[in-house]
């Protein structure tokens, strides 16, 4: 942090050095982009447990990881809040399905991290774990305040607990291990006077005690980072479809004619239905929806005789399966355009089958 001369000859220092700003910007950018992949992992867990949402909170700590890492590297009050705000903006610009709300959610997560570290007055595994757990759980509370789903209080508390555990493990303890490696390797100076009171003493005691061999930490952390990175590369290379490409969809698989289309192509068969969303935790009263019957789209693609199922796939990897014969006779299954995305309205099915961000109809 370089001193800057003022008009009266005195010198002042900027609150954040250039290095601090760079760290926050880079980590926020990486975290914002990878949060889409984390959301995909959450969808996988939801499908595994057969629920529309909730189980995915077990990976919520991965959203907070980057915020706490920024706080641990910069070690200035406010660093986490700024990193969270920037991360939310990146998520918004890269097509988050939560819209502008994700900026608020991410900012609140950063504020929670700053407050916990400030109150505990030190950096370290315990502070990071508490901050990670509470920060990850805060996203459940904020989303409930913004979009109250009518879910039972017991269920909300349960998914808060999942997020809390995830934040302690994947954010707090993981960040602590990464910072230890950075410190031991001498890549960045972490033991500076900017650490909160008590940090120096905590680190000195750690240095004096017996420490595990550095190579053990390197191997463990490297495996975790490699596994996460490999999954993210596969997701963005094979599964992810950028939302800014527009509300397009395609039919593929066991059909005579694979096709890509926008809903305007089938404007002549547009219809209006009334449907009621009955989810396990979400309920939307009967209302009208205008769109294109899925069966009409499939008729043009002409499913092959051996085809028996239809898989509806979203841009983030979420998918549901239907019996093909049932779909071809279903008058309450339509595709609509909603907020620059395609959404499946499945009036004869529970809420988990109402897929948002539809990008593919795969006939199997």
Instruction: Give the number of other CB atoms < 10 A from CB of residue 218.
Output: 14
Question: Residue 150 — very low, low, confident or very high, per pLDDT cuts 50/70/90?
Answer: low
Q: How far apart are CA 36 and CA 305, in angstroms?
A: 37
Q: Do 222 and 314 lie in a common domain? A: no
Q: Does 272 lie in the same domain as 212?
A: no
CB 84 within 8 A of CB 90: no
Residues 128 and 258 both lie in one domain: no
Range scoring the smallest mean pLDDT among 71-80, 224-233, 297-306, 344-353: 224-233
Q: Please indicate, yes or no, whether residues 115 and 252 belong to a single structural domain of this protein.
A: no
**What number is the average pLDDT over the span 249-273?**
91
Q: What is the mean pLDDT of the chain?
A: 81
Ramachandran category for residue 113: left, alpha or beta (phi over 0 → left; psi -120 to 50 → alpha):
alpha
| Residue percentage of the chain with pLDDT more than 90 | 39
Q: Is the Cβ–Cβ distance between 39 and 57 less than 8 Å? A: no
Q: Which range is least confidently modeled, 54-63, 234-243, 344-353?
A: 234-243
Same domain, 101 and 131: yes
294, two tokens: 């899925």
Q: Considering only 30-34, 235-239, 298-302, which range has the smallest mean pLDDT? A: 235-239
Is residue 296 left, alpha or beta, with left meaning phi > 0 and alpha meaning psi from -120 to 50?
alpha
Strand partners, 344: 335
CA proximity to 357, closest of 255, 269, 239, 267 = 239
**Which position has the higher pLDDT, 185 or 39?**
39
R_g (Cα) of the chain, nearest Å:
24
Q: What is the pLDDT of residue 229?
A: 81
pLDDT of residue 52: 54
Q: Are residues 283 and 164 in the same domain?
A: no
Query: What percentage of residues in the chain have a pLDDT greater than 70?
Result: 78
* 167 and 132 in a common domain: yes
Q: Are residues 214 and 300 in the same domain?
A: no
Q: How far apart are the first and last CA of the chain?
A: 61
Q: How many helices (H) and strands (E) does the chain have?
A: 11, 11
In a shared domain, residues 211 and 283: no
Q: Looking at mean pLDDT, say which of 91-105, 136-150, 298-312 comes out highest.
A: 298-312
> For the chain, how many structural domains are there in total?
2
pLDDT at 201: 41
Q: Which residue has the higher pLDDT, 317 or 148?
A: 317
What's the confidence (pLDDT) of residue 79? Answer: 94
pLDDT at 144: 80
* DSSP reduced 3-state for 267: helix
Per-residue pLDDT, 205: 42
Which strands form 259-261's sheet, in the order they lie side by side? Answer: 259-261, 249-253, 358-363, 309-314, 319-323
Quote the pLDDT of residue 156: 81
Q: Tokens 């033991």 map to which residue?
A: 191
The pLDDT score that the predictor gives to residue 154 is 80
Write down the pLDDT at residue 45.
72
Domain, as residue range, for 123:
3-239
Highest mean pLDDT among 66-80, 239-253, 307-321: 66-80
Q: Which of 176, 205, 239 represents a domain boundary (last residue)? A: 239
> In this structure, are 283 and 210 located in the same domain?
no
Q: What is the DSSP string of 128-180?
A: HHHHHHHHHHHHHHHHHHHS-----HHHHHHHHHHHHHHIIIIIIIHHHHHHH
Residue 156 contacts by C-beta under 8 Å, 6 or more apart in sequence?
Answer: 140, 144
Digit-coded pLDDT (tens) for 185-244: 666 665 443 444 344 444 444 444 444 456 666 677 778 778 888 888 887 777 676 655
CATH of the domain at 256: 3.90.420.10
Per the model's pLDDT, the better-predicted residue between 352 and 189 turns out to be 352
**189 and 108 housed in the same domain:** yes
113 with 179, same domain? yes
- 214, 239, 264 - which closes a domain: 239
pLDDT at 227: 81
- Residue 339: C-alpha distances to residues 140, 235, 350 (Å): 23, 24, 22
pLDDT at 47: 64
Per-residue pLDDT at 252 exceeds 80? yes
| Position with higher pLDDT, 2 vs 196 | 2
| Three-state DSSP class for residue 225 | helix
- Domain boundary among the residues 239, 257, 283 is at 239
Distance from C-alpha of 175 to C-alpha of 181, rounded to nearest angstrom: 10
Q: pLDDT value at position 97?
A: 66
Contacts for 33 with CB less than 8 Å, ≥ 6 apart: 90, 94
- Is the four-CA dihedral 37, 149, 352, 247 of positive or negative sign? negative
């Amino acid at each position: 942090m370089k001193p800057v001369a003022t008009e009266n000859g005195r010198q002042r220092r900027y609150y954040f050095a250039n290095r601090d700003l760079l760290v926050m910007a880079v980590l926020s950018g990486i975290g914002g982009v990878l949060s889409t992949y984390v959301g995909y992992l959450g969808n996988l867990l939801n499908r595994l447990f057969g629920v529309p949402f909730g189980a995915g909170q077990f990976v919520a700590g991965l959203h907070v990881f980057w915020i706490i890492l920024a706080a641990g590297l910069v070690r200035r009050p406010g660093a986490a809040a700024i990193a969270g705000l920037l991360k939310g903006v990146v998520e918004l610009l890269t097509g988050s399905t939560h819209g502008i709300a994700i900026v608020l959610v991410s900012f609140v997560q950063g504020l929670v991290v700053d407050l916990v570290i400030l109150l505990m007055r030190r950096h370290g595994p315990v502070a990071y774990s508490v901050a990670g757990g509470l920060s990850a759980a805060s996203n459940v509370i904020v989303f409930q305040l913004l979009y109250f789903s009518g879910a039972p209080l017991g269920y909300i508390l349960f998914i808060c607990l999942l997020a809390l555990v995830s934040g302690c493990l994947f954010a707090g303890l993981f960040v602590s291990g990464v910072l230890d490696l950075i410190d031991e390797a001498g890549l960045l100076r972490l033991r500076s006077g900017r650490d909160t009171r008590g940090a120096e003493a905590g680190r000195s005691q750690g240095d004096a005690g017996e420490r595990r061999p550095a190579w053990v930490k390197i191997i463990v952390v490297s495996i975790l980072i490699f596994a996460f990175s490999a999954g993210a590369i596969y997701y963005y290379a094979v599964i992810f479809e950028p939302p800014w490409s527009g509300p397009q969809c395609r039919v593929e698989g066991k059909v005579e004619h694979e096709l890509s289309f926008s809903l305007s192509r089938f404007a002549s068969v547009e219809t209006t239905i009334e449907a009621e969303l009955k989810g396990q935790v979400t309920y939307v009263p009967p209302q009208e929806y205008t769109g294109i019957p899925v069966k009409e789209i499939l008729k043009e693609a002409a499913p092959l005789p051996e085809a028996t199922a239809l898989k509806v796939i979203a841009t983030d990897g979420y998918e549901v399966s239907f019996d093909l014969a049932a779909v071809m006779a279903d008058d309450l299954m339509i595709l609509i355009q909603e907020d620059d995305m395609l959404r499946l309205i499945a009036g004869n099915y529970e809420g988990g089958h109402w897929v948002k961000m539809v990008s593919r109809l795969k006939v199997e």
